[in-house]
Structure 1
Amino acid sequence: MAFLLKKESGYQMQKKEYRHLTIGLYLNYFVHGVGLIILAQNMQELGRLWGQPLANVSYVISGIGIGRLLAYLILGNLADKYDRKLFVYFGMFSYFVFFLGVLIVHNLTGVYLLAILAGIANSALDSGTYPVFLEIGTNNGASNILIKSFMSLGEFFLPLVVSFLEIHNLWFGWSFVFASIVLILNVFVLIPVKFPAKNNRVETKLNPFISLSITRHLALGVLLSLYGYVSMATMILYTQWISLYAGKQLNFNNFQAHLLVSLYSIGSIIGVLILFILLRRNITEIRLLMALNIVSMISLIVVNFSSNRMLVYLVSFTFGFSAAGGVMQTGLNLFLKIYPKHKGKVTGIFFTFGSIASFSIPIITGILSKISIEKVLKFELILTLIGVLISLGIKIISEKKV
């Protein structure tokens, strides 16, 4: 019937309840988008608050990656055994403690532990949310794409808030308080909603990768695991350092520097929608990975070697489009097609490599920043080149069979 959404597991959800559930879950990812960059966007203010240099603030950000690394596989397995709603609430509560805690705790060990908690919050939300979107509705592909869109909205919105607070000489901590308030309000959106019953049945469809040799399977698995690292690293590095780079190396004022992150986020939102359309039209993941990584590399070349303000604005948009518009999820989709019988394990491996990037990139860039911020962006250019080489390797290994 039209007013019911029904899954094969037998779960039925009224349309209004479904709408409340999806709104609540998407709002969490709006907050998550804020949480991904809120430390990076307030590095100088937090450094003054904690009495620490920028390099140490960057090290604190690496704690998010450790939290994700510690939690992904554990929480993913537990979420299949217990009510997924508990993991969504746990993620929300952990983020709430993180947002307020970094304003209250001033010692480096304490704020590092809070950053680890933020990484655990990320893992908890993913473990409780992604399976739910596979268990409700009739178009879970679109649902998963929209998760990325709401994350990008958060990444777009926060730099504007940070700029507004700085321009009007307001306390930088209001951006943290705002995120906490959204979480509190979202609890009341989700409380009356019943989550769907777990449906763990795995559908296995014939795909052209099944005929690949074991050696090719292993080679593709290694390359795509590495791509999980590279794709996450490029996104983290850009959002963490582009504003400071633009201010110090390109002489942008504060608003212009933060605007680059907002343009990057707009590009990522548009990229998600276009990528979804292209995949619906059966453009292969291999072709998309190759094209998008080339665009990312060209964009970083311009950022590194051009001081033309409008051109840098443009390529910040194209970099968001290509590097943060769902290309990481495209790599995961390809990985899942290559190993269709081990989806849980593959997802864990892929995001574990992404978590290693979340942990290691802030440390690496913190060291490079002691030399110069210019070296940080040069390092990112190298990462995009590696992404192109990985995509090329995937294409060469696969093209004879696919």
Structure 2
Amino acid sequence: MSTAVSKTGRKLYPSAFILYLNYFIHGIGCSILGQQVMKEALAAQWGTADDAVTLVAAALGLGRLITLPFSGPISDKMGRRVSSLIGIFSYAVFFFGVAYSPNMQVAYAAAILGGAANSFLDTGVIPACVEILEPRSGLATMLTKFFISISQLLLPFMLGFVAAANMSYNTILIAAAAVILVIGVLTFKIPMPAQEKAADGKNESFIQNLKHAKFALESVALIAIGFTCTATFQLWLNCAQKFGTEIAGMKDASIMQTWYSAGTIVAILLTSVLVTKFKQVRFLVIYPAIATMMLIIVYIVRTPMICQIGSFVIGYSAAGGVLQLATATVNDLFPKIKGTITSIIMIASSLSNYTILSAAGKVSASSGPQAVITMNIIITVIGVILALFVNMRYGKLVDKVEN
């Protein structure tokens, strides 16, 4: 039985690769608004201050928050392909919308669609790839972060290329829209894994699944980690370059993005090996603890070199797969409602994206980027405490699932 599943999974590896390509484009979508040069260009396009771009980036979280209650059940009921295609089309609209936005309001609406795209990709691509690579759920979710990190690593070079060619930075947005539409055509044609059906042959709604799911305090804490770990890397991704420029005196803060992405890639490659030897839940404590220490060092030392080192370490410890490992762990605890449970933890992540970045935009404008670092330290410490609690009780959660 297991051999047959393995052979079927191997036949679908090309499909998984095409699905993962969506996350290469997503890496551009979720980080380009955090690039200082892009902030300045869009602020000039809209006739506003660059802190307004952070507020637009927060709308990505709002879009996810609105659509995640629906995207999971749509994925479970109508299929992973449908959910993925909705995400692809929405992302194309987001890229075109921001590129041609005449003001912040239009860009904000486009960003909401970008968040919706993210939620449909999360509940379509992630469960599909988990099903293809089963039982390696940790690896399946880590690979989404790998593709995101590759594009984030290349993004500063893309920005440099268009600048050297005297092209608008919006060229990257337009190119990303075109590429993801091509991926959409491929996604429409590729074979997809067969989904497990409910015992009675029916797929239930998001609310019905919630009613049947039994959430222990430990699993609620695990879902809350989706909030804290997202805040850690989103605050760094969207606000650290301003800290580097204004507080640490960096001449070219875009190099922080390169170090951040490099750290993320190293974490993914190393963690993908480590999760086969150690329980993935252990990393939910270790990595945020490392991020906390690095944030404190960056806040105290405030030099260009520390900002670069900090970017690598934060990329490794905060953006190197903590959210993906938390998602994989939740999927393991609720195996019959993978799409819905992925929606739940991504709702926590989206809530973090929207509320924390909205707050950060206001805090940065009133108190400076150093106050954002302080905010990040506090949230990350809370994440460490939650993860310690989950680890202490994890064995009992697994026993409940098995019984």
Please tell me the residue identity of whatever aligns with 2:21: L
Check the 8 A contact 2:56/2:111 in 1, yes or no: yes
Alignment of 1:64-75 (within 5 A): 64-75=60-71
* Secondary structure of 2:169 counterpart: coil
Please tell me the residue identity of whatever aligns with 1:190: T
Alignment of 1:79-90 (within 5 A): 79-90=75-86
The 3 A distance-change label for structure 1 pair 101 and 301 is same
Are 2:243 and 1:251 equivalent residues in the alignment? no
Give identity over the alignment, percent: 29
Are 2:112 and 1:116 equivalent residues in the alignment? yes
The residue aligned with 2:144 is: 147
Alignment of 1:343-362 (within 5 A): 343-362=338-357
Q: CA deviation at 1:397?
A: 4.7
Are 2:22 and 1:28 equivalent residues in the alignment? yes
Q: Deviations over 1:118-162 (max 9, x none)?
A: 011111112221222233356653333211100111221212222
What CA distance in whole angstroms lies between the structure 2 residues aligned with 1:233 and 1:335? 19
Q: CA deviation at 1:109?
A: 2.5
Q: CA deviation at 1:307?
A: 3.2
Please tell me the residue identity of whatever aligns with 1:368: V
* TM-score scaled by length of structure 2: 0.85
What CA distance in whole angstroms lies between the structure 1 residues aligned with 2:178 and 2:136? 29
What CA distance in whole angstroms lies between the structure 2 residues aligned with 1:358 and 1:398? 27
Q: CA deviation at 1:167?
A: 5.4
Q: CA deviation at 1:14?
A: 8.5
Q: Deviations over 1:308-360 (max 9, x none)?
A: 43333223211111111111222233444555566554333221111101111
* Secondary structure of 2:254 counterpart: helix
Q: Which moved more, 1:63-72 or 1:170-179?
A: 170-179
What CA distance in whole angstroms lies between the structure 1 residues aligned with 2:315 and 2:10? 37
Check the 8 A contact 1:68/1:355 in 2, yes or no: yes
What CA distance in whole angstroms lies between the structure 1 residues aligned with 2:320 and 2:281? 15
The residue aligned with 2:265 is: 269
Correspondent of 1:171 among 168, 173, 195: 168
The residue aligned with 2:369 is: 373
Are 2:185 and 1:185 equivalent residues in the alignment? no
What CA distance in whole angstroms lies between the structure 2 residues aligned with 1:133 and 1:201? 19
Q: Structure 1: state its 5+ residue gaps.
A: 203-215
The 3 A distance-change label for structure 1 pair 87 and 335 is closer
Check the 8 A contact 2:260/2:315 in 1, yes or no: yes
Check the 8 A contact 2:145/2:324 in 1, yes or no: no
RMSD (Å) for aligned C-alpha atoms: 2.8
Are 2:394 and 1:391 equivalent residues in the alignment? no
Correspondent of 2:157 among 157, 160, 163: 160
Q: CA deviation at 1:400?
A: 9.0
The residue aligned with 2:225 is: 227
Please tell me the residue identity of whatever aligns with 1:177: I
Are 2:34 and 1:40 equivalent residues in the alignment? yes
The residue aligned with 2:311 is: 316
Check the 8 A contact 1:6/1:137 in 2, yes or no: no
Check the 8 A contact 1:160/1:258 in 2, yes or no: no
The residue aligned with 2:128 is: 132
Q: Structure 2: state its 5+ residue gaps.
A: 200-213, 399-403
Name the count of aligned residue pairs.
378
The residue aligned with 1:207 is: none
Check the 8 A contact 1:231/1:328 in 2, yes or no: yes
Please tell me the residue identity of whatever aligns with 2:194: A
What CA distance in whole angstroms lies between the structure 2 residues aligned with 1:160 and 1:292? 28
